[in-house]
Structure 1
Amino acid sequence: MEQRTLGPDGPRVSRVALGTMTFGQEADEQASHAILDTYLTAGGTLVDTADVYSDGESERIIGRWLGKNATARDQIVLATKGRFPITDQPGPGLSRDYLRRALDASLYRLGVDHIDIYQAHGPDPRVPLDEFALFAEEAQAAGKVTHVGLSNFPGWQTSLAHALCRQHGARPPVSLQPQYSLLVREPEWEIMPAAEALGMGTMVWGPLGAGWLTGKYRRDERPPAGSRLGDDPNRGLEALDRRGTERTWRIVDTLLRLAGEAGVPPAQVALAWVLQRPGVTSALVGARTPQQLTTSLPVADLRLDPALVAQLEEVSAPQTPDYPYRFVEEISAMR
């Protein structure tokens, strides 16, 4: 599988990364270990988790897998995140004190002595970002963290965190992890350009729109049993009433038509589109079974026809707000 570097100083990672939010929830330990085995065998190298996934169980499952596979730790880039509340970890947020405890707890659950990429899982308006920078310097100096990254940060906070890490003597973040897909293109306005300007890599999450871009959901039909929305139609960002807009259905209908014409599964087309976008280093995919994962892995080598790409970009283009984005485009064109 093709490998790329996360930023100029970050690790080499595979184009398709393994997201493990399903571990301990939709995938039990046996299935999770089989998914990890399948991913490693296929040449995948970036395994991403978070302490909040299944209240720490995702990390524990990965830790037990690493314990059974003597060489696996040296073959993967291990990334996790801290910020949100989990059982027996009071005071969640981005304070230095909390992140110290959260990191040590993640190291214990994973059964490792260091994390390759430790990420702030989201902004914390109650705490100055200096706290994260000071934590990063301390964790790197102690050898507990090789690199730091950011997840779900807006562009301005990404830039600020990068500058503060340098100011406080920490190696700056090598990666940004935003949501990005045919359904969610707003990161193109500022988040992705900020990462590119700072030399950061991106490992984007949700490239399949939490299942919306796989073809499993259809207009005027109930979500199928066993799917995310079949199990819980009000689930988070992908909730049926929240995401099931006319724009979404136009994108899904176009994707299904173009994928059918190309003879490629719609999920592969949607994922390949993300991987071909400027600034995308790696895309996170999750799975409930090894078989589900194997449908995503060939995408690392799939190249879409430019005419197909143009149609997808046209139908998925988000409505640009008048100010500041359209205004900036207009004055940028003035001579």
Structure 2
Amino acid sequence: MKLTELSTKKALNKAYRLVKPKPEQVKTFKAGLITLLGQIEDKESEENVKIHLIDFLKNTFYHPDYLIATKGKTDFVINTGKDANTSAGVMFEVKKPTNKADMITRQNLNAKAMHKLLLYYLRERLKHNNNLTHLVITNIYDWFIFDAQDFERLFFKNTQLKKDYEAWQQGQKTSTNTNLFYKEIAKPFIAQLEEEITFTYFNLKDFEKPLRNASKAADSEFISLLKILSPVHLLKLPFTNDSNSLDKRFYAALLHLIGQEEVKKGNKNLIRWKPAGKHNQDSLLENIYVDLSYIIHNPSIQPLQRQTLQDPILKGKVLFCRDFYVVLNHKTEKIMLADFGMGLTEAAFAPIAQVNPKVFLFNARPK
């Protein structure tokens, strides 16, 4: 097997390399990583190592949008969504730092950690989960990250390997013990592989010095590490590197400010006025009115005027007040009223000439 090792920077999507993380993301990641490294004792159990690692990933990136939990015999997975019914996206095999015998190395991937990960991968993939994105082997310090597409190419598409796995799974071998799969199926199969396998490797100890350095210059040394462990990379999420793209929190605040909301209809996202009962009295929508008296001398505006007065929300924001400038320069008030009233009933005219102005003046009056 030909091994190709990538650094954290080279493993990243070229466009994603250009994306600058937000200061609060860097701060949270840095604090979380310092906490993680401070919690690890070389002699503690793999279960404790796993718990610390899950907490780190949850607190820095994944909670509450992506569920991290054990699944079957797999140490743990990162799901593609927040619920247990979403697919596993990233699979983890975790070893304690002192377990050198089972851990893979940069020169040798044919060790028990890989055999176990291969077993869990085949189980998951044969359940028709085609949403796997990455597979990870780590002992907290050493990290090996594999693209699921390589596992698909090397393992899942190999007919003989799947045949041997299914025969073992169905009790057609001399034993259904996992050691048989590890030693007599996975190990010899990996040993005879001639294809290339690529993996991302890093050691967290290499980042301890910049982590404990308070300068912003030092932060740049672990930005690629932050991105490698982020949902964008591990779950292969879409992203934008456009500096002019709209921030999600700003977008939500903007919709709230103008009295609108985004709703999903089918496969489309639609923006609409908030329905009755959900209005925010401090929004711009609730405090903006339009006075038609200056523009209604123009006949071309009348179709839009009638359409506006049919809208259940906008009709309460239309005013008709006498505009001396219009009367003086365009039409007499009598003619203007006659033109404006064409197509409008008295019941439709009364709100914009009497009711709405009173509401407007009442709201605008200083307290």
Q: TM-score, normalised by structure 1?
A: 0.26
Q: TM-score, normalised by structure 2?
A: 0.25
Return the structure number with greater relative CO, CA threshold 8 A, min gap 6.
1
Larger radius of gyration: 2
